[in-house]
Structure 1
Amino acid sequence: MNRREPLVLDFDNSVGAIPGATTVALNDWQEAIRFGCTLRTFNRLRAYLDEQLPANYGTVLMGSGDYHHLTWPLVQRQRARGPFQLVVFDNHPDNMRFPWGIHCGSWVRRVAMLPFVTHVHVVGITSGDIGAKHAWENYLRPLQAGKLTYWCMDVNVDWAAKLGLSDAFRRFDDPDALTCAFVKQLKQAPQPTYLSIDKDAFSVDTARTNWDQGRLEESHAMAIIEALRGRIVASDINGEVSAYQYRTWWKRMLSGMDGQEPVPQSELDAWQAQQRAFNTRLLAAIAESSV
């Protein structure tokens, strides 16, 4: 069991108080980093985090799913624990083309191709990002290299077979079937694991976010975390809900195109309370399954 205390990367004040956690104030970086940025800007943040983060910490909470690209440097910080696989809960592949740098939907390709990462499993995708209409937007290299698998529902992915990528797509009719198959996979091929959770993979009954959401329930997450008992070497959680108005025009445009809806202020407190209660349960389960 891992008793290291959580670490909060506080960009957007959405995580709330967590007993024992170390908090790194990053509000001044919110506009620059949220949703996406150039690699130059991202590397400035990476250097800053290297100066600020403690030597040892537990699960990292980074706030909104708009910061999921922070998983890339967090994984790199764990290279000494490698080789290991990544298990990513996400309603999106996060493997989409973004030619201007890095953003919350493009980081998986970079992590999958790291030499100490054996494989990336993205679990719970229902987004049309992996359908035929958006096939060209997916980075194919990690799929072709056998280092990335999409575990998905509700999307026609027949196009993958035409490119010889059938093995990289595991499609299921419902979350129970997906979870059962994935747990079986984890038990058949046990590996040290970095766990990354974006709560947009879950139904709105489990956790409300301001992204389009998937169909997983809390029970599915807990079954997978239990299947990883004794093998989680590091972890992060995002998908908190927070209200923010971008000053940068292209971020306003692209986030709108991605279906991000403004959070009703009247509902924000209730959504965050639901999220924080879920975080408490996730943190406890992850700690029990960590090395």
Structure 2
Amino acid sequence: MESTVVLMNFTHVYEQEIFANSFYHRWVDCTDLTGTNCFCDATSASTIMKRINSYSPEGIHFIDSGNYHYVSKFWIDKIKEPFSLIVFDHHSDMQTARFNDMISCGCWIKVILDTNPYLRKVYIIGAKEESVNAILSQYRNRVKFYNETELFQEDRRNQFILENTDHPLYISIDKDILNATSAITNWDQGSLSLENLEKLLILILTKTRVIGVDVCGEYSEPANVFSAKRASFINSNTNKRLLTLVLSLKNMIHI
């Protein structure tokens, strides 16, 4: 399977972002699919998995807006060894599924915990307190939360690294963890700066073995032309910086 930079286009948003032309990448067009916005039906899920079948989980994958964060599951299901998952997200994405035959952007982490035999632990960084408090008790021993600042504390940082020496990691980034000067998304956002996100990624990428990375959080529903152009400029710049960072450290991860 191929390890590379992959752009998954559901909403045409990457067609407006300059960063997409700055690096060699593979393009996975999903704009023809229905039943994918926030929730994904079984037919579209099967089609998406077929379209990424030739690609490896090793690499960096851009997967459109946070409405499509569930696509992370399709990449993660390609991993066939014990691993842990790190998610940068302002939401826990651990809601109970509304429909048994559908995965959604709000429940995909819970689904992976319930179904993936290789997943050992999930670390969610930056989720707001109310979504953390809503986690069902049976998941507490497999899911660990860090707020936006904890990993900048030496003792918490060292503990995190020590916990992640036995298994490789997969990193999933929703840009809604960032403040409004670093990203414009469809959802309410956190307050982490892009610079601090980069510092955390450098820490993880240089101290642990990372299989792959995905990024979502585009702004795919602009109210007007001005907001569309502003979101495109800010998100493109952030995506380019994240991509540049990961590629600059690619010798330390499996890309």
Counterpart of 2:76? 75
**CA deviation string 1:162-189 (max 9, x = no partner):** xxxxxxxxxxxxx334543653233222
Counterpart of 1:205? 181
Counterpart of 1:118? 120
Counterpart of 1:276? 236
Q: CA deviation at 1:129?
A: 2.6
C-alpha contact 1:72 1:111 (8 A) present in aligned 2: yes
Larger radius of gyration: 1
Q: CA deviation at 1:50?
A: 4.7
In the TM superposition, what are the counterparts of 1:22-171 in structure 2 within 5 Å?
Answer: 22-29=26-33, 31-38=34-41, 40-51=42-53, 53-54=54-55, 58-79=59-80, 82-100=81-99, 101-113=102-114, 114-126=116-128, 128-131=130-133, 135=134, 138-143=135-140, 146-152=141-147
Q: CA deviation at 1:147?
A: 1.3
C-alpha contact 2:150 2:157 (8 A) present in aligned 1: no
Query: Does 2:218 match 1:240?
Result: yes
C-alpha contact 2:151 2:200 (8 A) present in aligned 1: no
C-alpha contact 2:7 2:27 (8 A) present in aligned 1: yes
| 1:33 match: secondary structure | coil
Q: CA separation in 2, counterparts of 1:44 and 1:122?
A: 27
Do the aligned partners of residues 231 and 263 (structure 1) sit closer, same or farther apart at CA in structure 2, a change above 3 Å counting? Answer: farther
Q: CA separation in 1, counterparts of 2:57 and 2:151?
A: 34
Q: CA deviation at 1:111?
A: 1.8
Do the aligned partners of residues 56 and 176 (structure 1) sit closer, same or farther apart at CA in structure 2, a change above 3 Å counting? Answer: closer
Counterpart of 1:265? 225
Query: Does 2:149 match 1:176?
Result: yes
| Identity %, equivalent residues | 23
Counterpart of 2:160? 186
Unaligned stretches of 5+ residues in structure 2: none
Do the aligned partners of residues 129 and 48 (structure 1) sit closer, same or farther apart at CA in structure 2, a change above 3 Å counting? Answer: same
- Choose the corresponding residue for 2:202, options 226, 246, 258: 226
Question: What is the one-letter code of the residue matched to 1:207?
Answer: A
| Segment drifting more, 215-224 vs 98-107 | 215-224
Q: CA deviation at 1:86?
A: 0.7
Q: CA separation in 1, counterparts of 2:73 and 2:110?
A: 10
| 1:85 match: secondary structure | strand
Q: CA separation in 1, counterparts of 2:32 and 2:246?
A: 30
C-alpha contact 2:3 2:55 (8 A) present in aligned 1: no
Q: CA deviation at 1:140?
A: 4.0
Unaligned stretches of 5+ residues in structure 1: 153-174, 244-261
Q: CA separation in 2, counterparts of 1:28 and 1:236?
A: 22
C-alpha contact 2:58 2:213 (8 A) present in aligned 1: no
